[in-house]
Amino acid sequence: MKRREFLGSTALAAATAMLTATRAFSQETITWKALAHHANGAQYNKWIWLQEELPKRTDGRINLEITTSAELGLTGFEVLRVLQTGLVDIAEVNIGFVSGDFPMIEATELPGLGQTYDEGRALMTAWMKNVVAPAGDIMGGKVIGNFSWNSAFLFTAFTMESLDDLQGKKIRVYSPGLAKYLEHFGAEPISMTTTEVYGALQRGVIDGLLTGSDQISAMSLWEVAPHMYDIGLAPFGAYIVVSERTWNNLPDDLRLVVEQIGADMTALGWKLGQDNNDAGIAAAREHDMTVEVSAPADWLEQLSHASREQVVPWWTSRAGAGAAEKFNEILAPLTGFTVD
pLDDT at residue number 7? 46
Low-confidence ranges of the chain (pLDDT < 50): 1-7, 20-27
Q: What is the pLDDT of residues 154-176, one digit of tens each?
A: 999 999 999 999 999 999 998 88
Q: Which CATH superfamily includes the segment(s) 3-149+235-279?
A: Bacterial extracellular solute-binding protein, family 7 (3.40.190.170)
Domain extents in the chain:
3-149+235-279, 152-234+288-335
pLDDT in tens, 116-150: 999 999 999 999 999 999 999 999 999 999 999 99
The whole-number pLDDT of residue 25 equals: 39
pTM over 0.85: yes
pLDDT score for 193: 86
pLDDT digits (tens, 9 = 90+) for 216-234: 999 999 999 999 999 999 9
152-234+288-335 has the same fold as 3-149+235-279: yes
In CATH terms, is domain 152-234+288-335 a member of 3.40.50.300?
Answer: no
Q: How far apart are the first and last CA of the chain?
A: 39
Nearest in space to 105 (alpha carbons), one of 255, 242, 234: 234
Q: Do 225 and 209 form a contact (C-beta atoms < 8 A)? A: yes
Q: Are strands 227-229 and 90-94 parallel, antiparallel or unpaired?
A: unpaired
